[in-house]
Structure formats: C-alpha cells, structure tokens
Amino acid sequence: MNDSPNNNDNNDKPLLAKRSPWMVVIQIIGFLGSISALGWAVSVALRQENREQLAKLSQASPGELFMLMGLATISVGFNGMLFWIIINPVHKLRPTDVIATNAISTLLAYLPFKLSIVSRFVIHNRRDKIPVLTIGAWIVAVTLLMLAVFGPITLASLWQKEINTSWIAVSAIGILASTILGSLIAKQLEGDKGTRRVAKLLGEKLTSTDSYGRFHIGFEMLANTRSAIIGNVFRVLDILSFALRFYVAAIVLDLPISGTDSLLLGATYFLIGMASPVGMLGTREAGTIAIASMVGISSAALAEDQGGETPIIIAVLFVTAIEAIVNLACAGFGIAWLRLRPGLSTNTE
C-alpha cells in the first residue's frame, strides 16, 4: 500500500528528534579522536625512513591503480544491490536508485552522528515513500544477513588459521546453512500467522499498532530465501573486494602478505567502518593497524629490514586514499542520478 504524505510526515519525527547534548559531545570527541589517530598514522608514514616505501606508491602501475579503484567502485555497487535485493519482495525500487543512495550513504559514513544511516532514512522515506519503521526493519534485515556471513567465516578462520580448501568449504556451507536457517525462522514470524505468534510473547496491544506492522514487514524480507541467499552472495563478493584491495596494495608496496592476511585486514577494515559510532574515518585505519600488529602481520610476517609495522600503515592509508577518491566520485554521480530520476510511488506493501 502507499502511505499518504501526512503519514510519512509523522514517520519523519524520529529523524527530527533532538539529540542529547551529551551524545553530541561524545560524538564530537570521538570524531576528533579518530582524526587524531588518522593524523598519527599519516605522520608515521611520512617519516624520513619511510621514503623508500612511499616511493613505491608513485611507481604503482596504471593497472594496479585501476584495479584498486575498480574494487572500491564495485564495493559501492555490491552493497547497493544487496539493499535492493532485500527490499525488493516488499517494495519495488529501481536498483540504480538504491545503488545511488548507497553511494551517498557510503561517503557520509566517514562522518559522525551516523549520517550514513540517517541519509538512507531521509532519501527512501521522502523520495520513495517508504515508512521510517520499514526502513529500520530493512537495515536490521541486512545486518542480520551480514552476521550469517561473518559468523561462519570467523569460525572457519579460528579452526583453520589460513585460507585452504577446508576453510572455503566450511565457510560456504556455513553461510548457506545459516542464511537458509534464518530465512526459515523468519517464515514462521511473517504475515498474520507470525503476528499471532509474536502477540503471544509481546501482547496484542503492541502487535495491533500500525508501527508494529511497518516494522514487522522485515520478517517478510528475510523470509524470501532466494533474496536472502542472493543478498549474501553480494556480501561475500564485497568482503572479497576489500581483501583484494589489501592484496593489491601489498603487491604495490612489495609486502609478503598472504591471502589469509589480506582477508583478515579487509574484513577488519569493513567491520570497524560499519560499527564505528563516530564515523569510519580514522577508526578503521587505527583499528586495522592495531589488529595487524596483534596478529603479527606488521612484524613477524614482514622482513625486519622493512621497518616493522610502518609498511602496514602505508598500505592501509593507500587503500583509504583510493577509496575516498572513488567514494567522492560515486556520491557525486549518486546525487546527480537521484535528482534526474523521480522516485517510484508504487510498492507492494
């Protein structure tokens, strides 16, 4: 069904609610701390003794630079397609519109106050007329599916310690099984039958509200097994794109980083950026460097004459710099696209 403008105005209230002054202060302090961490990493990379490593960046071939930019670009596309696939069973949107929105949100993710998430709410609510609570359910559904990917990968990594045939098999089977299991659980909670089941636990007063109905539709998104599986295929491809960025950066800097190390760095880089409450700029870089040091990638995995952890710092900053350029360009295209194309007013809710 389509929501009237008045209903959508009411649904905007959570977006317009005032933030607690303390939360604003904490966000600002956290963001400044993140910038300071990024500044530290840059200062270390620019030290005199690192001139040789920095010179290697200028020697990167056009093919290597193109590959890094291409991987960052397809990451924006993969995430956009994932969001579109999950919402598609209940709201018909153009995949290009969702990818454009994702490009804008990805750029805003560098900043604090979770502006990346807020932008999704604003664009899809005001442009596509999707209720705010349904957008919230959409984001929760995408997050739960992400856990169905990272859970098996983490367990497989703790077991095998390296990427091999067993790791690939366990990860693939685990991701497929957890995705299907989650979808089957959602099937039991979708629709009127699911509402009655939830009502037995939470009470009919809650489940009889319009707000519950808008959020409850998230179960319908997850219950579509085909969409859930395809969505997680895009998530896996996105994780691999992050890992490949670090692998290519290691080639440019002539660092002996294995595929396993690249996957760890890429996954850490992605997860910290997604989870950081104060914006991903600085937090991802500092966190990834710290994890690399903890597991020995920045020391034992490198020759002593390569300067300890410094090459890893340069590699992380190199990946960030390329990504920032790409994200800025993609967001520009995204804004232009959304301005040129009117939103779809029809949906199947």
Task: Quick: pLDDT tens for 294-330.
Answer: 877 765 444 444 444 577 888 999 999 999 999 999 9
Per-chain mean pLDDT for the chain: 85
Write down the pLDDT at residue 197. Answer: 85
Write down the pLDDT at residue 120. Answer: 94
Q: Determine what percent of the chain falls in helix, strand and coil, rounding each to the nearest 5.
A: 80, 0, 20
> Is residue 234's pLDDT more than 50?
yes
Categorize the per-residue pLDDT at 16 as very low, low, confident or very high, splitting at 50, 70 and 90. very low
Please, are residues 348 and 92 in contact by the beta-carbon 8 Å criterion?
yes
> Is residue 13's pLDDT more than 60?
no
pLDDT in tens, 175-224: 999 999 999 999 998 888 888 888 888 777 777 777 887 888 889 999 99
pLDDT in tens, 142-160: 999 999 999 999 999 888 8
Please, are residues 171 and 164 in contact by the beta-carbon 8 Å criterion?
no
Q: Which of 36, 231, 71 is nearest to 138 (CA)?
A: 231
Please, are residues 145 and 86 in contact by the beta-carbon 8 Å criterion?
yes
Cβ within 8 Å of residue 200, ≥6 positions away? none
The structural domain count of the chain equals 1
Write down the pLDDT at residue 162. Answer: 82
Write down the pLDDT at residue 19. Answer: 61
Q: How many CB atoms lie within 10 A of CB 149?
A: 23
Q: Does 17 map to a domain?
A: no
Q: Does 24 map to a domain?
A: no
Residue 161 tokens read as: 């310690």
What is the amino acid identity at position 251?
I
Categorize the per-residue pLDDT at 344 as very low, low, confident or very high, splitting at 50, 70 and 90. low
pLDDT in tens, 37-51: 888 888 878 877 777
% of the chain exceeding 70 in pLDDT: 89
Q: Does 3 map to a domain?
A: no
Q: Does 168 map to a domain?
A: yes
Residue 267 tokens read as: 């996954």
Task: Indicate the SS3 state at residue 289.
Answer: helix
Domain ranges, residue 302: 60-340
Q: Does 11 map to a domain?
A: no
| 277 backbone dihedrals φ, ψ, rounded to 5° | -80, -10
Q: Does 34 map to a domain?
A: no
Residue 244 tokens read as: 């490949």
Considering only CA atoms, give the Rg of the chain.
22
Q: Does 49 map to a domain?
A: no
Spacing of C-alpha 48 from chain mean position: 35
The label of the residue with tokens 């952890």 reads 309
Q: Does 262 map to a domain?
A: yes
Give the residue, 6 or 251, on which the prediction is more confident.
251
SS (H, E, C) 180-195: HHHHHHHHHHCHHHHH
What is the amino acid identity at position 115?
L
